[in-house]
Structure 1
Amino acid sequence: MHGSEPVSDWVRRWAPLVPAGGTVLDVACGSGRHLRWFAGRGHAVCGVDRNAEAIAALQPLGEAVCADIENGPWPFPGRRFDAVVVTNYLWRPLLPVLAESVAPGGVLLYETFAQGNETVGRPSRPDFLLRPGELLRAFACLRVVAYEDGFLEAPARFVQRLAAVHAPAEHEPGRYRL
């Protein structure tokens, strides 16, 4: 089942950027691997997915919303989160909404498939594969802390990964120290 795999190494690596105790939104969360992990780290969590069964199982952890975010309205209009996490999911019309959903001082952690993946497996349709530099362009309004675009093994896949912050009005020295 989608979401039963281990926590993304990318998410784990950049999770320290998430403000302590902050609210984390897991977009297209599936069975909630990241939602569960952040809840275990003391964060308030919110997940959204169109799979009602998966969402029902996540209710005890926090806010779990069943919604078709590709064919219906965004279920969190005007809300901002201390972290927005997206993995293995791409719906281009949603990218601006995701950027707007990151609170000042918050972080966006995004990892999904990129062009080239069609040579090694699924997804293979261009609709589901990022073009070169697409995440950088889509989230140019945020301060990029880290970005990767390339091939990963085990399992073989082409990905783009981005960690970006919505810099607060007053920069906190050292807050984003690597």
Structure 2
Amino acid sequence: MGPSAPDRPAPSPWILRFAPLVAADAGCVLDLACGSGRHGRLFLANGTPTLFLDRDLSGVEDLRGAAGAELLRADIENGPWPLAGRHFDAIVVTNYLWRPLFTQIIAALQPGGLLLYETFMRGNERFSKPASPDFLLVENELFERCRDAFDIVAFEQGEDSAPKPAMRQRICAIKR
């Protein structure tokens, strides 16, 4: 059983800010590396079908069988991309970075689809994990990876104090 609501981390203010850009009649949202599903649950609560993907689904098991929820267990770092041929109206990724997936993530978004991505960047090693450069974006990396295929709605990077001090990078972008 997944964590109860009081034990579940609060949704990111960045995701909350831009979630309304997902159309009310959106076909499906992907919560990639979903963890407890704190972001996918926002869309599901608004009636948007949501696919929760992670290698460990224990944080979202309470959603199994819920209307509009699809749970997919997959090790996307060591196995094949499990979503070949599927397309989403929005993809949400937070606190996760596996650079080899950027091409698949971009390809999985419908034209007009929304990418909401927020994760750690270089400099975070001063505060906590992750500290390895393999899991920290370099300056402007999300912007550079998105600029050719997306219209950038908003981009931020730098030190952030909430929910705890960290170096983060965030982007909200619409696929052309």
TM-score, normalised relative to structure 1:
0.88
The alignment status of 1:16 with 2:20, answered yes or no, reads: yes
1:111 counterpart residue number? 118
Asked if the contact 1:96–1:138 (Cα under 8 Å) also holds between the matched residues in 2, the reply is: no
Kept in 2, the 8 Å contact 1:28–1:49? The answer is yes
* Structure 2 counterpart of 1:78, from 52, 74, 85: 85
Residue 33 of structure 1 aligns with which residue? Answer: 38
Q: Could you tell me which residue of structure 1 aligns to residue 63 of structure 2?
A: 58
Structure 1: segments with no counterpart, 5+ residues: 168-178
Query: Which residue does the alignment assign to 2:154?
Result: 146
Q: Could you tell me how far apart the structure 2 residues matched to 1:35 and 1:60 are?
A: 15
Partner of residue 42, structure 1: 47
Task: Pick from 96, 109, 118 the counterpart of residue 102 of structure 1.
Answer: 109
Query: Please, which of 133, 143, 168 is the counterpart of residue 159 of structure 1?
Result: 168
Is the contact made by 1:49 and 1:55 (CA closer than 8 Å) also made in structure 2? Answer: no
Q: Which residue of structure 2 lines up, in the alignment, with residue 6 of structure 1?
A: 10
TM-score (norm 2): 0.89
Q: CA deviation at 1:112?
A: 0.2
Q: Secondary structure of 2:170's partner? A: strand
> Which sections of structure 2, spanning at least 5 residues, go unmatched?
none
Shift of 1:55: 4.7
CA contact (8 A) 2:57 2:71 kept: no
Deviating beyond 6 angstroms after TM superposition, the runs of 4 or more aligned structure 1 residues are none
Q: Is the 8 A contact 1:19 1:105 kept in 2?
A: no
Q: CA RMSD in A?
A: 1.7
Aligned partner of residue 108 in structure 1, secondary structure: strand
Question: Offset of 1:8 from its aligned partner?
Answer: 0.7
- In the TM superposition, residue 52 of structure 1 has moved relative to its aligned partner by 3.9
What number of residue pairs does the alignment pair up? 167
The one-character-per-residue Cα deviations of 1:35-74 (angstroms, maximum 9, x if unpaired) are: 1111111111101000043353332331110000000111
Match of 2:134 among 127, 136, 147: 127
Query: Is the contact between residue 117 and residue 158 of structure 1 (CA under 8 Å) also seen in structure 2?
Result: yes
